[in-house]
Structure 1
Amino acid sequence: MRYTIFASLLSLLILMACQAEQPTGSTIKDKSLERGAWRGLLALNDSLELPFELAYDGQSWEIINGEERILLQVDSLGPDSMRWTLPVFGTYFNIKQIGPKSLKGEWVNSQKEDYRLSFRAEGGQAFRFGPKTAAQSSLAKKWAVQFSPQDSANSYPAVALFELDPQTSILKASFMTETGDYRYLAGEFKQERLQLSAFDGAHAFLFRAQRQGDGSLWGQFYSGKHWSTYWRAQPNPKAQLRPMDSLSFLKEGYEKISFSFPNSQGDSLSLEDERFEEKVVIVQIMGSWCPNCMDESRLLEEYYRRYRKEGLEVIALSYELPKDMDNFKQIEKRLRTDLGISYPMVLAGPADKKAAAKSLPMLNHILSFPTAIIIDRQGKVRKIHTGFNGPGTGDYYEEYREELAQLIEQLLVEQ
Protein backbone atom coordinates (compact mmCIF):
# COMPACT_ATOMS: atom_id res chain seq x y z
CA MET A 1 0.00 0.00 0.00
CA ARG A 2 2.77 2.40 1.02
CA TYR A 3 4.73 1.42 -2.11
CA THR A 4 1.69 2.18 -4.30
CA ILE A 5 1.20 5.62 -2.73
CA PHE A 6 4.93 6.37 -3.08
CA ALA A 7 4.95 5.29 -6.73
CA SER A 8 1.90 7.44 -7.48
CA LEU A 9 3.49 10.49 -5.84
CA LEU A 10 6.73 9.90 -7.71
CA SER A 11 4.88 9.67 -11.01
CA LEU A 12 3.04 12.92 -10.26
CA LEU A 13 6.28 14.73 -9.42
CA ILE A 14 7.92 13.48 -12.62
CA LEU A 15 4.91 14.64 -14.66
CA MET A 16 4.99 18.07 -13.03
CA ALA A 17 8.72 18.35 -13.68
CA CYS A 18 8.27 17.47 -17.33
CA GLN A 19 5.52 20.05 -17.67
CA ALA A 20 7.71 22.66 -16.00
CA GLU A 21 10.43 22.05 -18.58
CA GLN A 22 8.03 22.81 -21.46
CA PRO A 23 8.50 26.31 -22.97
CA THR A 24 6.03 28.82 -21.63
CA GLY A 25 3.58 30.68 -23.79
CA SER A 26 2.35 27.77 -25.87
CA THR A 27 -0.92 29.57 -26.66
CA ILE A 28 -1.71 33.00 -28.08
CA LYS A 29 -3.17 34.08 -24.77
CA ASP A 30 -0.10 32.98 -22.77
CA LYS A 31 2.32 34.69 -25.11
CA SER A 32 0.71 38.06 -24.36
CA LEU A 33 0.87 39.70 -27.76
CA GLU A 34 2.09 43.28 -27.69
CA ARG A 35 -0.79 45.71 -27.31
CA GLY A 36 -1.00 48.92 -29.29
CA ALA A 37 0.40 49.75 -32.72
CA TRP A 38 1.56 47.08 -35.16
CA ARG A 39 2.97 47.32 -38.68
CA GLY A 40 1.75 44.82 -41.26
CA LEU A 41 3.69 44.00 -44.44
CA LEU A 42 2.36 42.22 -47.53
CA ALA A 43 4.95 40.84 -49.98
CA LEU A 44 3.97 42.01 -53.48
CA ASN A 45 7.05 40.28 -54.88
CA ASP A 46 10.44 39.03 -53.68
CA SER A 47 11.81 42.54 -53.15
CA LEU A 48 8.77 44.75 -52.49
CA GLU A 49 6.51 44.91 -49.43
CA LEU A 50 3.33 46.93 -48.92
CA PRO A 51 3.06 48.33 -45.37
CA PHE A 52 -0.15 49.05 -43.50
CA GLU A 53 -1.09 49.89 -39.93
CA LEU A 54 -2.71 47.60 -37.37
CA ALA A 55 -3.92 48.10 -33.81
CA TYR A 56 -4.44 45.48 -31.09
CA ASP A 57 -6.11 46.26 -27.76
CA GLY A 58 -5.77 42.82 -26.19
CA GLN A 59 -9.09 41.56 -27.57
CA SER A 60 -9.62 42.89 -31.09
CA TRP A 61 -7.55 43.75 -34.16
CA GLU A 62 -8.12 46.68 -36.53
CA ILE A 63 -6.63 47.67 -39.88
CA ILE A 64 -6.05 51.42 -40.22
CA ASN A 65 -6.13 53.32 -43.53
CA GLY A 66 -6.04 57.03 -42.77
CA GLU A 67 -9.47 57.80 -41.29
CA GLU A 68 -10.76 54.29 -41.99
CA ARG A 69 -10.88 51.57 -39.33
CA ILE A 70 -11.62 47.94 -40.31
CA LEU A 71 -12.49 45.58 -37.46
CA LEU A 72 -11.29 42.02 -38.08
CA GLN A 73 -13.05 38.83 -37.08
CA VAL A 74 -10.51 36.69 -35.20
CA ASP A 75 -10.80 32.89 -34.95
CA SER A 76 -8.34 30.50 -33.34
CA LEU A 77 -6.78 27.83 -35.60
CA GLY A 78 -4.68 26.20 -32.90
CA PRO A 79 -2.43 26.94 -29.91
CA ASP A 80 -0.41 29.68 -31.66
CA SER A 81 -2.38 30.25 -34.88
CA MET A 82 -5.37 32.37 -35.85
CA ARG A 83 -7.41 33.55 -38.79
CA TRP A 84 -8.35 37.17 -39.43
CA THR A 85 -11.40 37.53 -41.68
CA LEU A 86 -12.15 40.91 -43.22
CA PRO A 87 -15.73 42.18 -43.33
CA VAL A 88 -17.62 42.71 -46.59
CA PHE A 89 -15.10 41.03 -48.92
CA GLY A 90 -14.57 37.83 -46.91
CA THR A 91 -10.83 37.62 -47.66
CA TYR A 92 -8.68 36.39 -44.78
CA PHE A 93 -5.25 35.98 -43.17
CA ASN A 94 -3.89 32.70 -41.83
CA ILE A 95 -1.40 33.69 -39.14
CA LYS A 96 1.12 32.03 -36.84
CA GLN A 97 2.49 33.78 -33.78
CA ILE A 98 6.31 33.78 -33.72
CA GLY A 99 6.67 35.85 -30.55
CA PRO A 100 4.95 38.61 -28.56
CA LYS A 101 5.93 41.16 -31.25
CA SER A 102 6.01 38.97 -34.33
CA LEU A 103 3.41 37.36 -36.61
CA LYS A 104 3.82 35.56 -39.92
CA GLY A 105 1.41 34.04 -42.41
CA GLU A 106 -0.41 34.80 -45.64
CA TRP A 107 -3.32 36.81 -46.97
CA VAL A 108 -5.75 34.81 -49.10
CA ASN A 109 -8.02 36.60 -51.55
CA SER A 110 -10.79 34.02 -51.84
CA GLN A 111 -12.47 36.01 -54.63
CA LYS A 112 -9.60 35.12 -56.98
CA GLU A 113 -8.13 31.77 -57.93
CA ASP A 114 -5.03 30.86 -55.89
CA TYR A 115 -4.31 34.47 -54.89
CA ARG A 116 -2.02 34.54 -51.86
CA LEU A 117 0.48 37.06 -50.51
CA SER A 118 3.02 36.38 -47.78
CA PHE A 119 2.43 38.48 -44.67
CA ARG A 120 4.32 39.49 -41.56
CA ALA A 121 3.62 41.95 -38.76
CA GLU A 122 5.79 43.63 -36.15
CA GLY A 123 4.49 44.93 -32.82
CA GLY A 124 5.44 48.25 -31.27
CA GLN A 125 5.87 50.03 -34.62
CA ALA A 126 3.55 53.04 -34.77
CA PHE A 127 4.28 54.03 -38.36
CA ARG A 128 3.59 52.92 -41.92
CA PHE A 129 6.81 53.63 -43.84
CA GLY A 130 9.13 55.24 -41.31
CA PRO A 131 9.24 57.12 -37.97
CA LYS A 132 7.55 60.51 -37.80
CA THR A 133 9.77 63.54 -38.50
CA ALA A 134 9.09 67.17 -39.30
CA ALA A 135 8.47 67.83 -42.99
CA GLN A 136 11.36 69.45 -44.84
CA SER A 137 9.22 70.79 -47.69
CA SER A 138 5.60 71.43 -48.58
CA LEU A 139 3.32 69.59 -51.00
CA ALA A 140 0.49 71.11 -53.02
CA LYS A 141 -2.97 69.84 -52.13
CA LYS A 142 -4.30 69.19 -55.64
CA TRP A 143 -2.56 67.59 -58.62
CA ALA A 144 -3.40 66.65 -62.21
CA VAL A 145 -2.33 63.02 -62.67
CA GLN A 146 -1.79 60.76 -65.67
CA PHE A 147 -1.48 57.04 -65.08
CA SER A 148 0.38 54.97 -67.71
CA PRO A 149 1.55 58.17 -69.46
CA GLN A 150 3.81 56.21 -71.84
CA ASP A 151 1.01 53.87 -72.96
CA SER A 152 -1.58 55.89 -74.88
CA ALA A 153 -3.92 52.90 -75.24
CA ASN A 154 -4.18 52.37 -71.48
CA SER A 155 -3.44 55.85 -70.12
CA TYR A 156 -6.07 57.49 -67.94
CA PRO A 157 -6.37 60.78 -66.01
CA ALA A 158 -6.88 61.33 -62.30
CA VAL A 159 -6.88 64.07 -59.70
CA ALA A 160 -4.72 63.58 -56.61
CA LEU A 161 -5.73 65.07 -53.26
CA PHE A 162 -2.88 65.39 -50.76
CA GLU A 163 -2.91 66.50 -47.12
CA LEU A 164 0.58 66.72 -45.58
CA ASP A 165 1.12 67.18 -41.84
CA PRO A 166 4.21 69.43 -41.53
CA GLN A 167 4.89 68.25 -37.96
CA THR A 168 5.12 64.53 -38.78
CA SER A 169 5.54 64.23 -42.60
CA ILE A 170 2.43 61.99 -42.53
CA LEU A 171 0.56 62.19 -45.81
CA LYS A 172 -3.14 61.40 -46.25
CA ALA A 173 -4.38 61.16 -49.82
CA SER A 174 -6.73 59.82 -52.45
CA PHE A 175 -6.80 59.69 -56.23
CA MET A 176 -10.06 60.41 -58.06
CA THR A 177 -10.50 58.79 -61.47
CA GLU A 178 -13.46 58.85 -63.86
CA THR A 179 -14.59 55.47 -62.52
CA GLY A 180 -14.11 56.11 -58.80
CA ASP A 181 -11.53 56.96 -56.17
CA TYR A 182 -8.65 54.95 -54.71
CA ARG A 183 -10.17 55.44 -51.26
CA TYR A 184 -8.17 56.07 -48.09
CA LEU A 185 -4.42 56.25 -48.72
CA ALA A 186 -1.82 57.01 -46.07
CA GLY A 187 1.94 57.38 -46.03
CA GLU A 188 4.65 60.01 -45.94
CA PHE A 189 6.49 62.68 -47.91
CA LYS A 190 10.17 62.91 -46.94
CA GLN A 191 13.24 64.15 -48.80
CA GLU A 192 11.12 64.90 -51.87
CA ARG A 193 9.92 61.27 -51.96
CA LEU A 194 6.24 60.27 -51.72
CA GLN A 195 5.09 56.88 -50.44
CA LEU A 196 1.43 55.87 -50.00
CA SER A 197 -0.37 52.59 -49.36
CA ALA A 198 -3.75 51.11 -48.53
CA PHE A 199 -5.09 47.67 -47.73
CA ASP A 200 -8.85 47.19 -47.27
CA GLY A 201 -9.35 43.47 -47.86
CA ALA A 202 -9.86 43.81 -51.61
CA HIS A 203 -7.27 46.33 -52.80
CA ALA A 204 -3.58 46.25 -51.93
CA PHE A 205 -2.27 49.57 -53.29
CA LEU A 206 1.25 51.00 -53.14
CA PHE A 207 2.29 54.34 -54.64
CA ARG A 208 5.83 55.67 -54.89
CA ALA A 209 7.07 58.87 -56.51
CA GLN A 210 9.98 61.32 -56.49
CA ARG A 211 9.64 65.07 -56.95
CA GLN A 212 11.45 66.17 -60.12
CA GLY A 213 13.39 69.35 -60.82
CA ASP A 214 10.37 70.94 -62.53
CA GLY A 215 8.16 70.35 -59.46
CA SER A 216 6.30 67.36 -60.91
CA LEU A 217 6.02 63.91 -59.37
CA TRP A 218 7.11 60.79 -61.24
CA GLY A 219 6.66 57.31 -59.86
CA GLN A 220 5.09 53.87 -59.90
CA PHE A 221 1.72 52.47 -58.78
CA TYR A 222 1.42 48.81 -57.70
CA SER A 223 -1.90 46.99 -57.34
CA GLY A 224 -1.42 43.66 -55.61
CA LYS A 225 1.03 41.20 -57.11
CA HIS A 226 -0.39 41.27 -60.62
CA TRP A 227 -0.21 44.84 -61.95
CA SER A 228 1.83 48.03 -61.89
CA THR A 229 2.18 51.16 -63.96
CA TYR A 230 3.96 54.51 -63.97
CA TRP A 231 2.31 57.81 -63.08
CA ARG A 232 3.11 61.48 -63.48
CA ALA A 233 1.56 64.42 -61.58
CA GLN A 234 1.67 68.21 -61.86
CA PRO A 235 0.40 70.56 -59.13
CA ASN A 236 -2.80 72.15 -60.40
CA PRO A 237 -5.44 73.71 -58.10
CA LYS A 238 -7.95 73.65 -60.99
CA ALA A 239 -7.44 70.01 -61.96
CA GLN A 240 -10.70 68.25 -62.79
CA LEU A 241 -12.15 65.27 -64.62
CA ARG A 242 -15.13 64.92 -66.92
CA PRO A 243 -18.40 65.10 -64.96
CA MET A 244 -19.42 61.64 -63.72
CA ASP A 245 -23.01 62.35 -64.84
CA SER A 246 -21.92 62.73 -68.49
CA LEU A 247 -20.11 59.44 -69.09
CA SER A 248 -23.01 56.97 -69.41
CA PHE A 249 -26.36 57.50 -71.11
CA LEU A 250 -29.32 55.81 -72.78
CA LYS A 251 -29.01 54.99 -76.45
CA GLU A 252 -31.12 57.02 -78.85
CA GLY A 253 -34.79 56.06 -78.75
CA TYR A 254 -34.78 54.90 -75.12
CA GLU A 255 -36.27 56.71 -72.11
CA LYS A 256 -36.40 53.76 -69.74
CA ILE A 257 -34.40 50.71 -68.75
CA SER A 258 -35.77 47.21 -68.28
CA PHE A 259 -34.44 43.95 -66.86
CA SER A 260 -35.48 40.78 -65.11
CA PHE A 261 -32.95 39.07 -62.82
CA PRO A 262 -33.30 36.46 -60.05
CA ASN A 263 -32.93 37.15 -56.34
CA SER A 264 -31.54 34.65 -53.83
CA GLN A 265 -35.04 33.17 -53.29
CA GLY A 266 -35.31 32.33 -56.99
CA ASP A 267 -37.87 35.04 -57.78
CA SER A 268 -37.33 37.30 -60.78
CA LEU A 269 -37.39 41.05 -60.06
CA SER A 270 -38.02 43.77 -62.61
CA LEU A 271 -38.98 47.45 -62.61
CA GLU A 272 -42.45 46.41 -63.76
CA ASP A 273 -43.10 44.79 -60.36
CA GLU A 274 -45.73 46.43 -58.15
CA ARG A 275 -43.05 47.29 -55.59
CA PHE A 276 -41.45 49.78 -58.00
CA GLU A 277 -44.58 51.23 -59.64
CA GLU A 278 -44.80 55.02 -59.35
CA LYS A 279 -41.72 55.07 -57.14
CA VAL A 280 -38.45 56.93 -57.42
CA VAL A 281 -35.92 54.14 -58.03
CA ILE A 282 -32.14 53.99 -57.87
CA VAL A 283 -30.74 51.04 -59.83
CA GLN A 284 -27.26 50.25 -58.53
CA ILE A 285 -24.91 48.40 -60.89
CA MET A 286 -22.35 46.88 -58.54
CA GLY A 287 -20.24 43.91 -57.41
CA SER A 288 -19.32 42.71 -53.94
CA TRP A 289 -15.61 42.61 -54.95
CA CYS A 290 -15.61 46.40 -55.58
CA PRO A 291 -14.66 48.72 -52.65
CA ASN A 292 -16.19 51.77 -54.38
CA CYS A 293 -19.44 49.81 -54.70
CA MET A 294 -19.40 49.11 -50.97
CA ASP A 295 -18.88 52.81 -50.20
CA GLU A 296 -21.82 53.63 -52.45
CA SER A 297 -23.92 50.90 -50.83
CA ARG A 298 -23.47 52.50 -47.41
CA LEU A 299 -24.76 55.82 -48.77
CA LEU A 300 -27.66 54.26 -50.68
CA GLU A 301 -28.73 52.31 -47.59
CA GLU A 302 -28.69 55.54 -45.57
CA TYR A 303 -30.92 57.29 -48.11
CA TYR A 304 -33.14 54.23 -48.55
CA ARG A 305 -33.93 54.26 -44.84
CA ARG A 306 -34.44 58.02 -44.86
CA TYR A 307 -36.74 58.29 -47.90
CA ARG A 308 -38.39 54.89 -48.28
CA LYS A 309 -41.66 55.91 -46.64
CA GLU A 310 -41.87 58.86 -49.07
CA GLY A 311 -41.53 56.57 -52.10
CA LEU A 312 -37.85 55.75 -52.72
CA GLU A 313 -36.78 52.27 -53.78
CA VAL A 314 -33.27 50.95 -54.42
CA ILE A 315 -32.32 47.73 -56.18
CA ALA A 316 -28.79 46.35 -56.58
CA LEU A 317 -27.86 44.52 -59.78
CA SER A 318 -24.95 42.40 -58.62
CA TYR A 319 -22.31 41.23 -61.13
CA GLU A 320 -20.19 38.57 -59.48
CA LEU A 321 -17.28 36.20 -59.97
CA PRO A 322 -18.04 33.37 -59.95
CA LYS A 323 -21.55 33.88 -61.27
CA ASP A 324 -23.59 31.22 -59.52
CA MET A 325 -26.52 31.38 -57.12
CA ASP A 326 -24.84 29.58 -54.23
CA ASN A 327 -22.01 32.11 -54.25
CA PHE A 328 -24.48 34.98 -54.54
CA LYS A 329 -26.43 33.76 -51.51
CA GLN A 330 -23.25 33.91 -49.42
CA ILE A 331 -22.42 37.37 -50.79
CA GLU A 332 -25.87 38.71 -50.02
CA LYS A 333 -25.77 37.35 -46.47
CA ARG A 334 -22.35 38.96 -45.90
CA LEU A 335 -23.40 42.37 -47.25
CA ARG A 336 -26.62 42.40 -45.25
CA THR A 337 -24.68 41.51 -42.10
CA ASP A 338 -21.57 43.68 -42.58
CA LEU A 339 -23.13 46.70 -44.30
CA GLY A 340 -26.71 46.46 -43.07
CA ILE A 341 -28.11 46.53 -46.61
CA SER A 342 -31.88 46.10 -46.55
CA TYR A 343 -32.83 46.95 -50.15
CA PRO A 344 -33.32 44.11 -52.68
CA MET A 345 -30.41 42.52 -54.53
CA VAL A 346 -30.43 40.36 -57.65
CA LEU A 347 -27.77 38.33 -59.45
CA ALA A 348 -27.39 40.08 -62.79
CA GLY A 349 -24.38 38.36 -64.34
CA PRO A 350 -20.61 37.87 -64.25
CA ALA A 351 -18.17 40.54 -63.07
CA ASP A 352 -17.41 41.84 -66.54
CA LYS A 353 -18.22 45.25 -68.05
CA LYS A 354 -18.97 43.88 -71.51
CA ALA A 355 -21.28 41.22 -70.09
CA ALA A 356 -22.99 43.83 -67.92
CA ALA A 357 -23.52 46.10 -70.93
CA LYS A 358 -25.00 43.17 -72.87
CA SER A 359 -27.49 42.54 -70.06
CA LEU A 360 -28.59 46.21 -70.21
CA PRO A 361 -28.52 46.90 -73.98
CA MET A 362 -30.27 50.27 -73.71
CA LEU A 363 -27.10 51.80 -72.16
CA ASN A 364 -24.21 53.07 -74.29
CA HIS A 365 -21.81 51.02 -72.11
CA ILE A 366 -20.94 50.03 -68.57
CA LEU A 367 -17.84 52.10 -67.91
CA SER A 368 -17.61 51.50 -64.19
CA PHE A 369 -18.70 49.45 -61.23
CA PRO A 370 -20.55 51.09 -59.56
CA THR A 371 -22.99 52.99 -61.76
CA ALA A 372 -26.19 54.46 -60.33
CA ILE A 373 -29.27 55.00 -62.53
CA ILE A 374 -31.85 57.36 -61.01
CA ILE A 375 -35.42 56.89 -62.28
CA ASP A 376 -38.47 59.10 -61.67
CA ARG A 377 -42.02 58.03 -60.73
CA GLN A 378 -42.96 57.68 -64.42
CA GLY A 379 -40.13 55.21 -64.96
CA LYS A 380 -37.96 57.61 -66.96
CA VAL A 381 -34.22 57.76 -66.46
CA ARG A 382 -33.33 61.20 -65.07
CA LYS A 383 -29.67 60.74 -64.31
CA ILE A 384 -26.85 58.18 -64.63
CA HIS A 385 -23.90 58.59 -62.28
CA THR A 386 -20.79 56.66 -63.34
CA GLY A 387 -18.33 55.60 -60.63
CA PHE A 388 -18.23 56.81 -57.05
CA ASN A 389 -15.94 59.13 -55.12
CA GLY A 390 -16.28 57.99 -51.52
CA PRO A 391 -15.55 59.49 -48.10
CA GLY A 392 -11.79 59.32 -48.71
CA THR A 393 -12.20 62.31 -51.08
CA GLY A 394 -13.53 64.62 -48.36
CA ASP A 395 -15.44 67.60 -49.75
CA TYR A 396 -16.07 65.89 -53.10
CA TYR A 397 -17.93 63.10 -51.33
CA GLU A 398 -19.92 65.55 -49.22
CA GLU A 399 -20.91 67.53 -52.32
CA TYR A 400 -22.19 64.39 -54.04
CA ARG A 401 -24.11 63.34 -50.92
CA GLU A 402 -25.90 66.70 -50.96
CA GLU A 403 -26.55 66.61 -54.72
CA LEU A 404 -28.04 63.11 -54.55
CA ALA A 405 -30.25 63.97 -51.59
CA GLN A 406 -31.56 67.06 -53.38
CA LEU A 407 -32.31 65.07 -56.54
CA ILE A 408 -34.14 62.36 -54.59
CA GLU A 409 -36.24 64.98 -52.77
CA GLN A 410 -37.02 66.75 -56.05
CA LEU A 411 -38.19 63.55 -57.76
CA LEU A 412 -40.24 62.46 -54.74
CA VAL A 413 -42.42 65.59 -54.90
CA GLU A 414 -42.91 65.40 -58.67
CA GLN A 415 -46.20 63.92 -59.89
Structure 2
Amino acid sequence: MSKNIAYGLGILLVALMLYLGLVTNSHQENIAGVLPGKEAPNFKLKTIEGKEVSLEDYRGKVVLVNFWATWCPPCREEMPLFERVYRTYRNKGFEVLAVSTDSSLDPVKKFVKEYKLSFTVLFDDRNITSLYGIQGLPTSFLINREGKVVKVRLGEYKEIEKDLKQIL
Protein backbone atom coordinates (compact mmCIF):
# COMPACT_ATOMS: atom_id res chain seq x y z
CA MET A 1 0.00 0.00 0.00
CA SER A 2 1.46 3.37 -0.95
CA LYS A 3 2.10 6.03 1.67
CA ASN A 4 -0.48 8.35 0.07
CA ILE A 5 -3.25 5.74 0.25
CA ALA A 6 -2.38 4.82 3.85
CA TYR A 7 -2.29 8.50 4.83
CA GLY A 8 -5.66 9.12 3.15
CA LEU A 9 -7.22 6.12 4.88
CA GLY A 10 -5.85 7.32 8.22
CA ILE A 11 -7.32 10.78 7.75
CA LEU A 12 -10.65 9.24 6.70
CA LEU A 13 -10.70 6.99 9.78
CA VAL A 14 -9.97 9.86 12.19
CA ALA A 15 -12.63 12.03 10.51
CA LEU A 16 -15.17 9.21 10.82
CA MET A 17 -14.30 8.65 14.49
CA LEU A 18 -14.62 12.37 15.22
CA TYR A 19 -17.95 12.43 13.43
CA LEU A 20 -19.21 9.53 15.52
CA GLY A 21 -17.87 11.09 18.70
CA LEU A 22 -15.44 8.25 19.37
CA VAL A 23 -12.36 10.43 19.65
CA THR A 24 -12.06 13.20 22.16
CA ASN A 25 -9.63 16.07 22.07
CA SER A 26 -7.90 17.59 25.05
CA HIS A 27 -8.55 20.96 23.42
CA GLN A 28 -12.27 20.37 22.89
CA GLU A 29 -13.05 24.03 23.27
CA ASN A 30 -11.23 24.58 19.97
CA ILE A 31 -13.26 21.99 18.04
CA ALA A 32 -16.40 24.02 17.63
CA GLY A 33 -16.78 27.58 16.38
CA VAL A 34 -18.20 28.77 19.72
CA LEU A 35 -15.61 29.04 22.48
CA PRO A 36 -15.86 29.00 26.29
CA GLY A 37 -15.96 32.49 27.77
CA LYS A 38 -17.74 33.87 24.72
CA GLU A 39 -21.42 34.66 24.48
CA ALA A 40 -23.43 31.87 22.90
CA PRO A 41 -24.90 33.01 19.59
CA ASN A 42 -28.64 33.47 19.77
CA PHE A 43 -30.81 31.37 17.50
CA LYS A 44 -34.47 30.74 16.77
CA LEU A 45 -35.75 27.27 16.00
CA LYS A 46 -39.04 25.42 16.17
CA THR A 47 -39.76 22.70 18.66
CA ILE A 48 -40.93 19.38 17.28
CA GLU A 49 -44.43 20.58 18.15
CA GLY A 50 -43.97 23.67 15.94
CA LYS A 51 -43.48 26.37 18.61
CA GLU A 52 -40.71 28.88 17.88
CA VAL A 53 -38.17 29.43 20.66
CA SER A 54 -34.91 31.30 20.86
CA LEU A 55 -31.88 30.80 23.06
CA GLU A 56 -32.49 34.33 24.36
CA ASP A 57 -35.77 33.07 25.88
CA TYR A 58 -33.68 31.07 28.36
CA ARG A 59 -31.47 33.93 29.61
CA GLY A 60 -31.18 33.68 33.40
CA LYS A 61 -31.08 29.89 33.27
CA VAL A 62 -28.24 27.43 32.82
CA VAL A 63 -28.75 25.83 29.42
CA LEU A 64 -27.34 22.73 27.79
CA VAL A 65 -27.51 23.07 24.00
CA ASN A 66 -26.90 19.63 22.55
CA PHE A 67 -26.56 18.89 18.82
CA TRP A 68 -27.56 15.31 18.08
CA ALA A 69 -29.29 12.93 15.66
CA THR A 70 -31.41 9.82 16.07
CA TRP A 71 -29.00 7.77 13.93
CA CYS A 72 -25.97 8.69 16.10
CA PRO A 73 -25.12 5.92 18.66
CA PRO A 74 -23.34 8.21 21.19
CA CYS A 75 -26.26 10.65 20.94
CA ARG A 76 -28.71 7.89 21.75
CA GLU A 77 -26.55 6.83 24.69
CA GLU A 78 -26.47 10.23 26.37
CA MET A 79 -30.16 11.14 26.05
CA PRO A 80 -31.32 9.11 29.11
CA LEU A 81 -28.60 10.84 31.18
CA PHE A 82 -29.73 14.26 29.98
CA GLU A 83 -33.33 13.38 30.86
CA ARG A 84 -32.34 12.28 34.38
CA VAL A 85 -30.19 15.38 34.95
CA TYR A 86 -32.92 17.64 33.55
CA ARG A 87 -35.56 16.19 35.87
CA THR A 88 -33.21 16.56 38.83
CA TYR A 89 -32.14 20.18 38.20
CA ARG A 90 -34.93 21.86 36.20
CA ASN A 91 -36.39 23.42 39.34
CA LYS A 92 -32.99 25.03 39.98
CA GLY A 93 -32.96 26.83 36.64
CA PHE A 94 -31.53 24.18 34.29
CA GLU A 95 -32.83 23.70 30.75
CA VAL A 96 -31.91 21.36 27.91
CA LEU A 97 -32.28 22.38 24.28
CA ALA A 98 -31.65 19.27 22.19
CA VAL A 99 -31.09 20.40 18.60
CA SER A 100 -31.80 17.54 16.20
CA THR A 101 -29.83 17.49 12.98
CA ASP A 102 -31.93 14.71 11.44
CA SER A 103 -33.11 15.25 7.88
CA SER A 104 -36.77 14.72 8.74
CA LEU A 105 -38.97 15.24 11.76
CA ASP A 106 -40.67 11.82 11.96
CA PRO A 107 -37.74 9.84 13.44
CA VAL A 108 -37.17 12.64 15.96
CA LYS A 109 -40.77 12.55 17.18
CA LYS A 110 -40.60 8.76 17.45
CA PHE A 111 -37.32 8.95 19.38
CA VAL A 112 -38.67 11.57 21.83
CA LYS A 113 -41.72 9.42 22.51
CA GLU A 114 -39.70 6.21 22.87
CA TYR A 115 -37.19 7.79 25.28
CA LYS A 116 -39.90 9.79 27.10
CA LEU A 117 -37.91 13.03 26.82
CA SER A 118 -39.47 15.94 28.69
CA PHE A 119 -36.96 18.66 27.79
CA THR A 120 -37.20 20.89 24.73
CA VAL A 121 -36.31 19.22 21.44
CA LEU A 122 -35.67 21.50 18.48
CA PHE A 123 -35.37 20.76 14.78
CA ASP A 124 -32.44 22.43 13.02
CA ASP A 125 -32.63 23.81 9.52
CA ARG A 126 -28.82 23.41 9.30
CA ASN A 127 -28.24 27.13 9.87
CA ILE A 128 -27.68 26.72 13.61
CA THR A 129 -25.36 23.75 13.14
CA SER A 130 -23.29 25.97 10.86
CA LEU A 131 -23.53 28.98 13.21
CA TYR A 132 -22.11 26.89 16.06
CA GLY A 133 -19.39 25.32 13.89
CA ILE A 134 -20.50 21.76 14.58
CA GLN A 135 -17.96 19.25 13.26
CA GLY A 136 -19.28 16.04 14.81
CA LEU A 137 -22.10 14.58 16.83
CA PRO A 138 -22.93 14.78 19.59
CA THR A 139 -21.63 18.24 20.48
CA SER A 140 -22.79 20.03 23.62
CA PHE A 141 -22.50 23.58 24.92
CA LEU A 142 -23.09 24.37 28.58
CA ILE A 143 -24.19 28.01 28.88
CA ASN A 144 -24.38 29.97 32.13
CA ARG A 145 -27.17 32.28 33.30
CA GLU A 146 -25.47 35.26 31.64
CA GLY A 147 -25.46 33.55 28.23
CA LYS A 148 -21.74 32.70 28.16
CA VAL A 149 -20.43 29.32 27.09
CA VAL A 150 -18.66 27.61 30.00
CA LYS A 151 -18.04 24.20 28.42
CA VAL A 152 -17.90 22.70 24.93
CA ARG A 153 -17.98 18.94 24.63
CA LEU A 154 -17.55 16.82 21.50
CA GLY A 155 -18.76 13.28 22.11
CA GLU A 156 -20.87 11.92 24.93
CA TYR A 157 -21.17 14.42 27.77
CA LYS A 158 -20.95 11.99 30.69
CA GLU A 159 -19.72 14.62 33.16
CA ILE A 160 -22.68 16.98 32.65
CA GLU A 161 -23.91 16.64 36.22
CA LYS A 162 -20.50 17.43 37.73
CA ASP A 163 -20.11 20.52 35.50
CA LEU A 164 -23.69 21.60 36.15
CA LYS A 165 -23.27 21.49 39.94
CA GLN A 166 -20.34 23.90 39.64
CA ILE A 167 -22.38 26.63 37.95
CA LEU A 168 -25.90 26.25 39.32
CA contact (8 A) 1:319 1:356 kept: no
Residue 245 of structure 1 corresponds to 28
Unmatched segments (≥5 aa) in structure 1:
1-147, 159-176, 182-239, 323-327, 389-399
Alpha-carbon separation, structure 1, partners of 2:8 and 2:108: 38
Residues 149 and 337 of structure 1: CA distance in aligned 2, closer, same or farther (over 3 Å):
same
CA contact (8 A) 2:42 2:54 kept: yes
Within 5 Å, give how 1:47-196 maps onto structure 2.
Answer: 149-151=6-8, 154-157=11-14, 177-179=17-19, 180-181=21-22
CA contact (8 A) 2:38 2:149 kept: no
Q: CA RMSD in A?
A: 2.8
Q: Is 2:130 the partner of 1:346?
A: no
Query: For this pair of structures, how many residues does the alignment match?
Result: 161
CA contact (8 A) 1:149 1:155 kept: no
Residue 145 of structure 2 corresponds to 377
More strand by share: 1
Residue 301 of structure 1 corresponds to 83
CA contact (8 A) 1:301 1:343 kept: yes
CA contact (8 A) 1:281 1:315 kept: yes
Of 406, 410, 414, 2:162 maps to 406
CA contact (8 A) 1:319 1:348 kept: yes
Unmatched segments (≥5 aa) in structure 2:
none
Alpha-carbon separation, structure 1, partners of 2:65 and 2:162: 17
- C-alpha displacement of 1:255: 2.0
CA contact (8 A) 2:38 2:148 kept: no
Residue 285 of structure 1 corresponds to 67
Alpha-carbon separation, structure 2, partners of 1:283 and 1:386: 12
Instruction: Give identity over the alignment, percent.
Output: 29
Alpha-carbon separation, structure 1, partners of 2:9 and 2:134: 21
SS of equivalent to 1:317: strand
Larger RCO: 1 or 2 (CA < 8 Å, sep 6+): 2
Deviations 1:356-410 (A, max 9, x none): 543x2xx3x211111101000111111110122xxxxxxxxxxx63x32121011
- C-alpha displacement of 1:307: 1.1
Q: 2:12 corresponds to which letter in structure 1?
A: S
Alpha-carbon separation, structure 2, partners of 1:332 and 1:157: 28
Q: Which has the larger Rg?
A: 1
Residue 94 of structure 2 corresponds to 312
Q: Is 2:107 the partner of 1:331?
A: yes
Residue 64 of structure 1 corresponds to none
User: TM-score of the superposition, structure 2-length normalised?
Assistant: 0.80
- C-alpha displacement of 1:271: 1.5
User: TM-score of the superposition, structure 1-length normalised?
Assistant: 0.35
Q: 2:140 corresponds to which letter in structure 1?
A: A
